[in-house]
Structure 1
């Protein structure tokens, strides 16, 4: 699909929402935001603006509380294109007359051979150009997807880009990373769609979970970019598997403590820890709730027994460990 047709399709979709401008739902706003982002990523020329008149529709959303900022930025950029300050200016700069270049060379005393790159540099530029064109082609295909799928691709791309610095630090070429992050975002999105082909809510829920967990786990993001983790396997991972090592260790410790707390003898097994946390040490370890009436010592032990009928309270028997006195009360 050509850029002209894509812009025309987006214009038609946005025009339908103009009728209910004051009663847009959250889904409508999200859809509008996705369409504006698609327009931001397109190379809109003066011919496209003239043929589609997309600016007339986008400008009507400039006062919207949520998408207004994006709409204003787009209209401002398109005005520069119409005035020849945007794409047209860039094109003119790259296609400067050869006579101008020749005159500059003659002024600097150089020749055409001096300005030509070496074969190795030319090959490097050619490879970079090929990689960039392939990357741009993949990203342009996102515009033909359903809006929520295109949004997922962009969010995954943003998440993967966050780990670029770590990969470059490890010696990975930055240009290669730029291409790989686009490729991996496309692969992961396709894997999510393959698992939930007709289940939009499940698709969105899984996409959000992946973006959140990958963003928190830079090592995992690096492994995905380098192809060490397959996209299909990634989609089938649980939240625990997606968590970082630190988070996984924290979850395991919390689970262990929960299981220990359910044990009947947990209090006796952890008595020393409890006393330490409460500041009970020294003679206080031998103290109890009962004080001996003879020697005033708190080193006592007590037991309870049901000596009367079941509806009566239990009888407490106390023994003083200091002087040996025994007494009871109920």
Structure 2
């Protein structure tokens, strides 16, 4: 909790729709970018208003809202126009990730949340949650599988960038990767195209193969992409790979299932990659929609874990492990 305290947070959350509009306007107008680029002493309100074509007194009030959110630092001036502002941390990129037309948050907003909203109290007390025909975990129909794969694909860009940052270290030579639960193959395609030393096969439910083939069809790395149909839950993983990866998979399953998946992977490959939504304050905040939505879906655990938990599991398998921090943290276990 920041210094505004619980009362302050609750007041702002009550008016979240107004603040969302403010933030999107601040991003699209270029205000956030100007605040990001401000020098250490800040930029004067009068300059901001003139450059952005905004009314100074009105902009001052908008900046008060941004300050209340903790996004803006202010130095009072002798006059209102001389008041100086700067970003407390990079804002424009964060706003783009949330408010862009193709953002992951807009994709999340297409989920059937109306089946839970307004009924939360009774659902918490045991009333039926979200109907399986609306959303089931695991997906119970080909249509649900396809929808979930598309939703996961919407969040691939920062994951691909995290892999790109560590690929020269992790995969300096030709490497065959099995991406367990790789959805429609969007991440596999990005990895294979960006890193010519990689061959990436997706291990997924058979009904997703046509979707993956469609994603792979026009890829210049098509000959290094593949699909293997199967169900990792309770089944066996195929062998013949240097690396087996779990990308945003393990947190959806209870501890015994997640550990069993890691143990199965450890039988098949000498390296196992875990790219997960690790439990940190920032990641828990970004995950808020799913934490709330999945209150109505008992089949999905949605349990964010600290890296130390995965590290202990790797130790139990006699795998040495290392964490590579990034937009999405990447953990690697290597057979000792």
Alignment TM-score, normalising by the size of structure 2: 0.23
RCO higher in structure (CA 8 A, sep ≥6): 2
Higher CA-based Rg? 1
More helix by share: 1
More strand by share: 2
